[in-house]
Structure 1
Amino acid sequence: MSELTVQDSTAAFAAVRGERGRRSRVPAWLRWGTWVPTLITFVIAAALWQLLAIANPYVIPTLDAIALSLIQNPEMYWSNSLTTLLEVVVGAATGILAGFLLAVIMSEFQIIERAVMPLVVIVMVTPIVAIAPALVVAFGFGMVPKFIVTGLVVFFPMLVNSLAGLRDVDQRALDVFKTLHASRWETFRELRFPGSMPYVFAGLRIALPLAVVGAAVAEFVAAGQQAGLGSLVTTSAAQANLPVTWASIALLCLLGVLLIAVLALVRKRVLWWSDDQITARG
């Protein structure tokens, strides 16, 4: 009797594991539990927005007015979106690269960290709105101040996360590398750099949305070229053109969402081993 019970339990366990395996092979976006709650939330939010817009027409525009503005002025929105995207790409790439390289140097030489980190903290706690006009005076009225502002916004989270990842090394693996007389470069290439990738992507998840915020803030406060979605928000708000204002804000949100989506795809390709470990533990 007990032998039959054990066999039945084993078969049931195998069936459950097989069902979980079949579920895991189904793409996440095809599972109703993934997209239905999000869809319901957006439908409720859209309905509430529409009701508030109808009741307060001079405060927020209706969704159809926003959509109509996007349809009627595609070239205006497209050109300004490209300008903001350029600021995000150039500024974020510069800030991310600088943050990671400085984290590498700090992880190898602690004296550099003790010397530089206080200055980095002072720069990071300085309001970016106060820095932008000074950058315009120093670098002119072109795109350079906007690139710098965007880079500064993403620099600190990238530095902190990368430094934590480069130092979070399995001590046993590090002892093995020391036993094999591996050089600093070999240790970095084979151990520290791969091990830091989960932290780096966590930093990127914070930095990329902040890059969009930084580009918009730079367009708000850095005088000069009046282009970009941030500038469009400022000028349309000054003219009380609510549909253009909120359409520009919606495009800024969409830009941030697209960046996060691309990052998620890249992370899945690069950190496939990390996802497998999480699944195995689950």
Structure 2
Amino acid sequence: MSEMAVRDTTATLAAAQVRSGARARRIPSWLRWGAWLPTVVTFLIAALLWQIVAWTNPYVLPTLDAIAGSLGQDAGMYGSNFLTTLLEVVVGAAIGIVAGFALAVVMAEFALIERAVMPLVIIVMVTPIVAIAPALVVAFGFGMIPKFIVTALVVFFPMLVNSLAGLRDVDKRALDVFKTLHASRWEIFRELRFPGSMPYVFAGLRIALPLAVVGAAVAEFVAAGQQAGLGSLVTTSAAQANLPVTWASITLLCVLGVLLIVLLAVARKRVLWWSDGEVTAK
């Protein structure tokens, strides 16, 4: 084969590779079979194993069709309890996130406050939530407030720790430039610390939002009073040995957690469009 023929063949192959790469880039990543096929196979295997256990041990697990049937027959009941738990998650998580970030800002600016407050925060965080919840009921009555507080406490600590790490992880050279220009604390926070902390904040949210679902469910387990929410439904149905209702409620709690993670991923992509890497949560 002549040298010219070799060059033509090489150019043709290179052009074909470019066209193939362009077509691949036009296809969204979530539509490519390699992105979703492993997950689908894993879930199918898990569903098969679940069914086998349910068929052989009906008093341990309900079948998947029994769970689906319960969800379909009592959709209104599940919907109202889902909304109750969602309210607890949204309000409690919002309180915990705002409080955690606000305290992190104060601690990042004033080391003395961190030394004074952090030991108390650690004591509260290591105290079991199941021990705090009944006391909150005594203090605030039978209602939603104890559940909001329990959910906020669960969310507060990861938000505080990650936000504090992000606010302190600033480029020293950029900070020196700001100080050279006699920038105020507010200007340094607005232009340097706050934008730089966002990867850490989202890493904290990735831990805090699933924990908010856990906190709301635990609050419904142990905080006596209003019998509403998916956690209360789990407790009631388990006491009655109603496995389909128990696992249907657990499934909805899982769905709620997954929805929060998906929304967080979308928000992170929008807000941190300039950040390619992930920050590991503390």
Deviation (angstroms), 1:180? 1.1
SS at match of 2:183: coil
Matches within 5 A, 1:46-57: 46-57=47-58
* Structure 1 position 112 matched with structure 2 position 120: no
**Residue 42 of structure 1 aligns with which residue?**
43
Q: Which amino acid aligns with 2:183?
A: A
Q: Which amino acid aligns with 1:33?
A: G
Deviation (angstroms), 1:33? 1.1
Cα distance, 1:179–1:74 mapped onto 2, change above 3 Å: same
**Residue 81 of structure 1 aligns with which residue?**
82
Deviation (angstroms), 1:47? 0.4
CA distance in 2, matches of 1:105, 1:33: 46
Task: Give the superposed CA RMSD.
Answer: 2.4
CA distance in 2, matches of 1:172, 1:126: 41
CA distance in 1, matches of 2:28, 2:39: 16
**Residue 127 of structure 2 aligns with which residue?**
126
**Residue 270 of structure 1 aligns with which residue?**
271
Q: Which amino acid aligns with 2:240?
A: Q
Deviation (angstroms), 1:74? 0.4
Structure 2 alignment gaps of length 5 or more: 1-5
Matches within 5 A, 1:254-269: 254-269=255-270
Aligned length: 276
CA distance in 2, matches of 1:11, 1:167: 53
- Measured against aligned partners, the alpha-carbon deviations of 1:184-242 in whole angstroms (never above 9, x if no partner) come to 10010011000000000000000000000000000000000000000000000000000
SS at match of 1:273: coil
Cα distance, 1:140–1:21 mapped onto 2, change above 3 Å: farther
Deviation (angstroms), 1:23? 3.8
**Residue 251 of structure 2 aligns with which residue?**
250
Cα distance, 1:58–1:263 mapped onto 2, change above 3 Å: same
Return the TM-score normalized by structure 1: 0.92
**Residue 179 of structure 2 aligns with which residue?**
178
Cα distance, 1:223–1:19 mapped onto 2, change above 3 Å: same
CA distance in 2, matches of 1:90, 1:130: 21
Matches within 5 A, 1:131-210: 131-210=132-211
Q: Which amino acid aligns with 1:83?
A: T
CA distance in 2, matches of 1:145, 1:200: 26
Return the TM-score normalized by structure 2: 0.92
Q: Which amino acid aligns with 1:182?
A: A
Cα distance, 1:11–1:159 mapped onto 2, change above 3 Å: farther
Cα distance, 1:33–1:242 mapped onto 2, change above 3 Å: same
Cα distance, 1:79–1:166 mapped onto 2, change above 3 Å: same
Cα distance, 1:24–1:106 mapped onto 2, change above 3 Å: farther
Cα distance, 1:33–1:127 mapped onto 2, change above 3 Å: same
CA distance in 2, matches of 1:253, 1:270: 26
CA distance in 2, matches of 1:137, 1:218: 14
CA distance in 2, matches of 1:110, 1:38: 46
Q: Which amino acid aligns with 1:249?
A: I
Cα distance, 1:13–1:123 mapped onto 2, change above 3 Å: farther
Cα distance, 1:20–1:159 mapped onto 2, change above 3 Å: farther
Deviation (angstroms), 1:31? 1.4
* Structure 1 position 102 matched with structure 2 position 103: yes
SS at match of 2:214: helix
Structure 1 residue ranges, 4+ long, deviating more than 4 angstroms after superposition: 8-22
Q: Which amino acid aligns with 1:109?
A: F
- Measured against aligned partners, the alpha-carbon deviations of 1:57-95 in whole angstroms (never above 9, x if no partner) come to 011100000000000000000000000000000000000
Cα distance, 1:37–1:179 mapped onto 2, change above 3 Å: same
CA distance in 1, matches of 2:41, 2:179: 55
CA distance in 2, matches of 1:14, 1:253: 47
